[in-house]
Structure 1
Amino acid sequence: MKIEKTSFGQIVIDGKKYSNDIYIISENEEFIIQKRKKELSYKVKGHTCFGEKEAEFLLSYKPEIFFIGKGQFGVLPIPSETRRILENSKVKIIEETTPKIISKINSAIKQKQHIVALLHLTC
């Protein structure tokens, strides 16, 4: 799997275009792409934040590394309650704008590391 590029509202992985926020989840050395479960979070100032239930869902995969692509401009809201859950998990957290984080995710995929990634595609 390789993330090729991202622009506002889309991401291209292995030649396939996705127009929704996505998760990348590694399971048994396979990398699975899922549409983001926004129903696990809630709205903050018009944006769907990265909420506690969503963090717990992704942490249930027991990743070594948790990547958070915060959008093209880094605007994805992460409430303090969610940050507390992430900090308490002891998982390595890497968060950046989505365009900047894709090379790091590609490197982790190439090394077959056990990861989860949340990739926000708009703001």
Structure 2
Amino acid sequence: MRVEFPGFGRILVDGKVYEGDIVIYPSGKVGERKKWLSKRKHGTSHKLDPDELREYLTEEFDVLIVGTGAWGKLSLLPESGELVANKEVIEKPTGEAVELFNDLRGRRKVLAIFHITC
């Protein structure tokens, strides 16, 4: 599996273009980020709420990578961090997060959440 972030508003997974935020599970399944769960509570989808994060904790993983957007606007709320306190959590702007994902993917069980705009 290869992920590319050509720029604001688009992400590619094995050549397939996605124009919305995505989640990539350790199994390789790609899903839509359920950002409305965070937006409903906080008025913005730039805060990753525990209710939203719980939706993605369906497979065993070692590392959570959060691509925070082109300009780093998405952040993991402290309460969300508590849900994954026993895991390695890495938050980086999406371009850097994609590079890290590609590097770790074959060696570790990675759960990745990518915000593809701001």
Q: Which runs of 5+ in 1 are unaligned?
A: none
Please name the residue that 2:115 is paired with: 120
- Distance in 1, Cα, partners of 2:102 & 2:91: 14
**Larger proportion of strand:** 1
Please name the residue that 1:63 is paired with: 61
Please name the residue that 2:7 is paired with: 7
TM-score by length of 1: 0.83
Please name the residue that 1:107 is paired with: 103
Task: Rate the CA distance shift 1:77–1:38 in 2: closer, same or farther, 3 A.
Answer: same
- Distance in 1, Cα, partners of 2:13 & 2:58: 24
1:32 aligns with 2:40: no
- Distance in 1, Cα, partners of 2:89 & 2:113: 11
Task: Kindly provide the CA deviation profile for residues 57-82 of structure 1, in whole angstroms up to 9, marking residues without a partner as x.
Answer: 22332211111000001111332222
Q: Name the amino acid aligned to 2:72.
A: G
Partner-residue secondary structure (3-state), 1:11: strand
- Distance in 1, Cα, partners of 2:18 & 2:30: 10
2:34–2:52 CA contact under 8 A, matched in 1: yes
- Distance in 2, Cα, partners of 1:77 & 1:4: 21
RMSD (CA atoms): 1.8
Partner-residue secondary structure (3-state), 1:107: helix
- Distance in 1, Cα, partners of 2:96 & 2:75: 17
Q: Percent identity?
A: 27
1:71–1:97 CA contact under 8 A, matched in 2: yes
Cα drift, residue 48 of structure 1? 4.2
1:6–1:121 CA contact under 8 A, matched in 2: no
